[in-house]
Amino acid sequence: MSSAQPTIVDPETRRGRQYGTSTDGTPWTRRVHPTTGAPLTPWTPVEPVLPPSSSPLVLSLITENQSDSEVRHWSLFCHRPPGSPRGRAWQVTGDAEFMVCNHEHDADKLGGDAFASCQVLNDDLSAAQLARVEHVVAAEPPPRAPNRSAVTENCQGWVVRVLKRLAAEGIVQQHRVAELEKRLDPVN
For the chain, the structural domain boundaries read 8-45, 57-182
Specify the pLDDT at position 92. Answer: 95
Of the given ranges (35-49, 140-154, 174-188), which has the lowest mean pLDDT? Answer: 35-49
122, 181, 183 from 186: Cα distances, Å: 26, 11, 9
Residues 81-107: what's their mean pLDDT? 87
Provide CB contacts within 8 A for 12, sequence distance 6+: 18, 19, 20
Specify the pLDDT at position 52. Answer: 54
First and final C-alpha spacing in the chain: 59
Specify the pLDDT at position 112. Answer: 80
The C-alpha atoms of residue 116 and residue 112 are separated, in whole angstroms, by: 9
Residues 42-61: what's their mean pLDDT? 75
**Residues 130-179 pLDDT 10s:** 999 999 999 999 999 999 888 889 999 999 999 999 999 999 999 999 99
DSSP 112: S
